[in-house]
């Protein structure tokens, strides 16, 4: 059994299509989406439609989804994120705005071993960047495996049940090989697949992951997409130019 893990698409249709095309060949049984379908990118309606058409087994909201659907004010947003959220709110069709506003909040459970959240299990808006953040998140996790997004940085934080020490796995960037990591069955894990629509680890390719329930393995995968046409759309839409520029750098 294999789960396809998607996160932080941010209205980037070209990146999402490239991921879905490649993932077709990976024969997954579940689709899990960790939130932030929209915000930043120029195709919010198309991305929302595409994700709902996939009928994911689990789909939760992210902080940008809340703001861009009008559920919450952009209080913690920098000016370009707030500007993009307002543009997205105005661009979404009323039906899509409603669908995004109705997305459930994490954490949600897939089965007895797995839960998902956007930021952390205890707060969807909190980021997990380091071991200290991971430790607090693991304290609040109810399952052995927790998939999360929000930072746009792929990787795994693992805590050994005996020693309590935390180890970090970061997949290599800018390599054509998928990066696989077998999970220690005696540890609990926080797993971030990385971002499809706005990677921030210095690799501009779209990031996603597959979890193999049988081998207990996480596979981190990158796929190139036509960044230039995505940038062009962002500029044509009148969205902040910084949002187009950062896509080329993966920052």
- Choose one: 3-11, 87-95, 154-162, 200-208; the region binding Zn ion (CB under 5 A): 3-11
Of 4-12, 19-27, 83-91, 99-107, which segment contacts Zn ion by CB under 5 A? 4-12
Q: How many chain residues bind Zn ion (CB under 5 A)? A: 2
Q: How far is the CB of 8 from Zn ion (least distance, A)?
A: 4
Cis peptide before 107 (omega within 30 of 0): yes
Pick the closer one to Zn ion by CB: 38 or 221. Answer: 38
- Which CB, 10 or 222, lies closer to Zn ion? 10
Residues β-bridged to residue 219: 180, 210
Q: Which residue's C-beta sits nearest to Zn ion?
A: 36
Residue whose CB is less far from Zn ion, 36 or 115: 36
Residue 8 in contact with Zn ion, rule: CB under 5 A: yes
Q: How is 66-123 classified by DSSP, letter by letter?
A: HHHTTSS--TT--HHHHHHHHHHHHHS-HHHHHHHHTPPPSPEEEETTEEE-SS-SS-
Nearer to Zn ion, 69 or 183 (CB): 69
Rule CB under 5 A: is residue 201 a binding residue for Zn ion? no
Question: What is the distance between the alpha carbons of residues 58 and 21, in angstroms, rounded to a whole number?
Answer: 20
Q: Read off the DSSP letter of residue 17.
A: H
Stretch that binds Zn ion, among 5-13, 73-81, 154-162, 226-234 (CB under 5 A): 5-13
* Minimum CB–partner distance for residue 25 and Zn ion (Å): 26
- 36 contributes a contact to Zn ion by CB under 5 A: yes
User: What sign results for the dihedral spanned by CA atoms 138, 141, 144, 147?
Assistant: negative
Name the segment binding Zn ion (CB under 5 A); options: 8-16, 125-133, 205-213, 223-231.
8-16
| Gap between the Cα atoms of 251 and 246, Å rounded | 5
Nearest to Zn ion of 153, 183 (CB atom)? 153
Paired strand residues for 155: 192
For residue 237, give the DSSP letter: T
- Strand 114-116 and strand 108-111: the pairing is antiparallel
Give me the residues that bind Zn ion (CB under 5 A), please: 8, 36
């Amino acid at each position: 059994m294999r789960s396809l893990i998607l996160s932080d698409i941010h209205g980037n249709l070209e990146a999402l299509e490239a991921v879905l095309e490649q993932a077709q060949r990976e024969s997954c049984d579940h689709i899990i989406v960790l939130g932030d379908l929209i915000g930043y990118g120029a195709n919010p309606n198309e991305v929302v439609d595409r994700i709902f058409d996939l009928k994911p087994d689990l789909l939760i909201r992210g902080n940008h989804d809340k703001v861009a659907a009008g559920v919450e004010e952009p209080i913690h947003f920098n000016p370009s994120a707030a500007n993009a959220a307002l543009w997205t709110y105005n661009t979404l069709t009323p039906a899509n705005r409603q669908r995004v506003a109705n997305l459930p909040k994490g954490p949600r459970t897939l089965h007895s071993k797995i839960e998902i959240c956007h930021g952390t299990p205890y707060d969807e808006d909190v980021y997990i960047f380091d071991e200290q953040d991971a430790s607090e998140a693991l304290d609040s996790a109810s399952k052995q495996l927790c998939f999360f997004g929000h930072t746009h940085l792929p990787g795994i934080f693992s805590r050994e049940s005996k020693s309590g020490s935390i180890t970090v796995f970061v997949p290599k960037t800018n390599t054509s090989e998928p990066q696989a990591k077998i999970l220690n069955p005696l540890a609990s894990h926080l797993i971030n697949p990385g971002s499809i629509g706005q990677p921030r680890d210095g690799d501009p390719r779209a990031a996603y992951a597959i979890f193999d329930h049988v081998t207990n393995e996480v596979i981190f995968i990158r796929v190139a997409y036509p960044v230039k046409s995505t940038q062009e759309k962002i500029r044509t839409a009148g969205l902040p130019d910084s949002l187009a520029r950062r896509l080329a750098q993966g920052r």
